Chain A
């Protein structure tokens, strides 16, 4: 009986986290399209609901009622598994995101490693989808995205080491609390810029959207997918983008901390600050999509391995020496 109670409590908590995440994914798609349209002096989706807010809902309905087509020459089990893997991995990582000092589903010791591990697993959804489709364009897209995501993960890992050097803990709440006096975006500003660009590449966003470059590869690994399975890829992708924004907010922008530590600001609950920071980063994501043209593949690889990796490694050495010299290394 006790177990049943615990299970119900946990399920309730998980639903309370996942439903808002899914709803905000739908809203964020709308926001993405609106920002894109705003930059290009268009209207964007503005018909369905107030300001077009329900556009994503209408799209989702359309996807649900479309037929799911499974190519006869595809590897069926893996073909069906791929979108499920993408979506699951995009959602399970929200378990460790702290919305305030106490509002976190799983306050684990190695939270940042968990986030990193789950985001590095995200490659599999794409590779599986691309390979199982048994068709040229999806396969090329999958190979491209796998190489791209593995490359940029390396620099994200090194940037995380930079932050961890200043914190001395792998727990996400500790990382947030270490920024009480100063957000890490100030001392580690170059790392924040590199993290932002790497997270664009990690989530296959423009200007690094080569896996689904529509001019060359139709839609990359999603070419053979239709109906609900396509929608799941799409949901997983946007949930991943939100997650990378949340990661940036926690690592560099002080997570749920209020920007100014004065009375009226501290009254606002931490969750709202975190959501505002995520929104800020997401609007940057959307602006980049609208402004920057797509990279060539060799330029992308060069940027990852020859620019970002040496830069972030050098910064690790610099941070470590600075902290060591001034005896600031966190020891607990």
Chain B
């Protein structure tokens, strides 16, 4: 039990500190690295409460893919060094009130959700059905996702697909004068059509078409 709490507190302290460092650190690339540390420690917390599938998926999706794209964007945009920290800048930024309002709303939503669990005991049934059976966490999660909540699950998948296609359509533009390579043409090239041996007369040269 002692080891359990030691691990719990160290992971949660790392998670909270790195979450703060994401917003505070001057260098944007450092922020992304702290975000990654945050994700990793949260997935460790997931594993500690027995949700090993969620923890691993968190690692694969967020750390392995999403955060890599974050890093990509941050490195490419060259915004690495910010002059001002948001709390120390001279002129007040317009983003702060908006951010505060959104975070307050999220905070109250969290309170409502947790309060619902606390004061409406029959909601615990869903919670228990994941944990109680003598099967692995992955198994029971699949049993719930693909039976009771299959429509919601597939709907969320469709929403993600639409978002992906939308992003592709919005950013796709046809540019004129771009040379395209046809792989079929490149592979199916033969020696006979690529190489030609010519007799070159002195002082005359040869004309090469194309």
Contact = CB atoms under 8 A, between A and B. Distances in A.
Query: Is B truly associated with A?
Result: yes
Interface of A: 3, 75, 78, 108-110, 113-114, 116-117, 120-121, 123-124, 127-128, 131, 139, 143, 146-147, 150, 153, 157, 170, 298-299, 302
Contacts of A146: 68, 71-72
SS class, residues of chain B in contact with chain A: helix
A78 B137 CA distance: 36
Contacts of A170: 53, 136, 138
Interface string B49-71: 00011001101100111001101
Given A113-B53, A120-B59, A170-B53, 20 more contacts: A3-B3, A109-B137, A110-B56, A113-B60, A116-B60, A117-B59, A117-B63, A120-B60, A120-B63, A121-B63, A124-B68, A131-B71, A131-B75, A143-B72, A143-B76, A146-B68, A146-B71, A147-B72, A153-B64, A302-B183
Interface residues of B, number: 24
Nearest 3 Cβ contacts at the A-B interface: A120-B64, A113-B56, A117-B59
B11 interface: no
Nearest to B56: A113
A9 B75 CA distance: 44
22 contacts: A108-B52, A109-B52, A110-B53, A110-B138, A113-B53, A113-B56, A120-B59, A120-B63, A121-B64, A124-B68, A127-B71, A131-B71, A139-B75, A143-B76, A146-B68, A150-B64, A150-B65, A150-B69, A153-B65, A157-B60, A170-B53, A298-B181
A143 B52 contact: no
Contacts, number: 63
B208 to A, nearest CB: 25
B75 A143 contact: yes
A121 B36 CA distance: 10
Contact of A109 (B69, B76, B136): B136
B33 interface: yes
B29 interface: yes
A197 to B, nearest CB: 17
A121 B33 CA distance: 12
A78 to B, nearest CB: 7
Contacts of B33: 78, 128
Contacts of B60: 113, 116-117, 120, 157
Given A108-B52, A127-B71, A146-B72, A113 B57 contact: yes
Interface string B65-91: 100110110011000000000000000
Given A110-B53, A298-B181, A120 B36 contact: no
Contacts of B136: 109, 170
A78 B29 CA distance: 10
B39 to A, nearest CB: 10
Most chain B CB neighbours (cut-off 10 Å) among A131, A157, A298: A131
B130 to A, nearest CB: 14
Contacts of B36: 124
A120 B68 CA distance: 10
